[in-house]
Amino acid sequence: MNAMPFARGLSAGLLSAVSLMLAGTSAPAQDYPTKEIHAICMFPPGTGADILVRFFAAKLQEVIGKSVVVENKVGAQGSIATEAVARAKPDGYTIAITPASSTLAMAAHIFKKLSYDPVKDFAPVTPLATVSFSIVVDGKKPFRSMADLTAFLKSKDARGFYGGAANTGIVSSELYLRAIGTKSQPVSFRTPVDMLGAMANGDLDFVSADNLWTVGQAKEGRVKALAVTGASRSSALPDVPTLKESGFPDIAVEAWWGVYVPAGTPQPVIDKLRVAFEKIMAMPDTKAFLTRGAMDPLAGNADTLRALLVRDLEKWGEYVELAKIEKQ
């Protein structure tokens, strides 16, 4: 009996089965998207961050040709929304447009028990933007530079007060105070608006606030920005130097936004999303939107997000201890 025809037939059958199997697994990625995409938002509707998520969701819908629905899952400093993405089916139909510097990097250190792994449970798609803060003083104060503020704080001999409404701002302030070798008592506020009255009354020597708030208040002359906390100058405050330029080369703290999907999402799907967001970031109205929000585009790719996360996972361990941020 000649076994060769049988062997050839068996090989052909196996090849056919493998081909069908591969076609079945790649077809969803090739056809993606075939239904609406859900963008999970950790912020309440109507907030500035919610508006940002909805802007990018609307643009994604425009570029990719399918409905993109924003779902607000609010609570636990973003961990409810972030967990929802981590536990979603990894098929590209659930995405996170998120300030990953807090929802992933910071969260690993401010929660005693985290329901998701910031590294293993997510696949980065693309970076979007950075948001830096400002070291701000009352507009009536004579300070013109960080050197002026430093001299004043040292003269108070640790009897000063500063305000903060976000962990990033508080950390920036504590890094600055450590660098100049003095202390100042932190006062936490719910919003930057609440800090304004306290500063006007002379109860605060300085505050660290997000640049969007700072731009509006500076235009009215209520506050004066002495430095921004990011690695480079903010397009919203182009005349304000960075802390690095002001004599603090080791301080650069900013929030950064990116797009993530659940780990295990097929790479062709991730690639389609990445290309779509690259088109969005190249649009003139996207650049205008970010400028209005005092944000700066963050160039790069998925590797950029991975590197940022690795860096900030390490840094936020130090930051939480330095700023005495209470763990939850």
Res 234: pLDDT = 94
- The structural domain count of the chain equals 2
Percent over 90 (pLDDT), the chain: 76
Do 48 and 189 reside in the same domain of the chain?
Answer: no
| 109 pLDDT more than 60 | yes
Do 174 and 107 reside in the same domain of the chain?
Answer: no
Do 118 and 43 reside in the same domain of the chain?
Answer: yes
76 located within any domain: yes
Res 25: pLDDT = 46
Q: Compute the average pLDDT of residues 207-217.
A: 92
| 27 pLDDT more than 60 | no
Q: Compute the average pLDDT of residues 185-200.
A: 89
Domain end, chosen from 228, 247, 272, is at: 228
Percent over 70 (pLDDT), the chain: 91
The rounded mean pLDDT for the chain is: 90
Res 47: pLDDT = 83
Do 122 and 259 reside in the same domain of the chain?
Answer: yes
109 located within any domain: yes
Res 113: pLDDT = 87
pLDDT tens by residue, 249-271: 999 999 999 999 999 999 999 99
With beta carbons less than 8 A apart as the criterion, state whether 148 and 270 touch.
Answer: no
Q: How far is CA 114 from the centre of its chain?
A: 18
242 located within any domain: no
C-alpha closest to that of 290 among 117, 55, 101: 55
Q: Model-level pTM?
A: 0.84
Do 66 and 140 reside in the same domain of the chain?
Answer: no
With beta carbons less than 8 A apart as the criterion, state whether 196 and 189 touch.
Answer: no
pLDDT tens by residue, 233-248: 999 999 999 999 999 9
* CATH, residue 306: 3.40.190.150
Res 194: pLDDT = 86
Do 307 and 269 reside in the same domain of the chain?
Answer: yes
pLDDT tens by residue, 125-172: 999 999 999 999 999 999 999 999 999 999 998 899 999 988 889 999
142 located within any domain: yes
Domain end, chosen from 185, 212, 228, is at: 228
Do 119 and 40 reside in the same domain of the chain?
Answer: yes
Domain that holds residue 170: 132-228
Do 317 and 277 reside in the same domain of the chain?
Answer: yes
> Cβ neighbours of residue 3 under 8 Å, at least 6 residues apart?
none
End-to-end CA gap in the chain: 75
Res 28: pLDDT = 58
Do 126 and 149 reside in the same domain of the chain?
Answer: no
Instruction: Classify 247 in phi/psi space as left (phi over 0), alpha (psi -120 to 50) or beta.
Output: left
C-alpha closest to that of 85 among 47, 42, 45, 54: 42
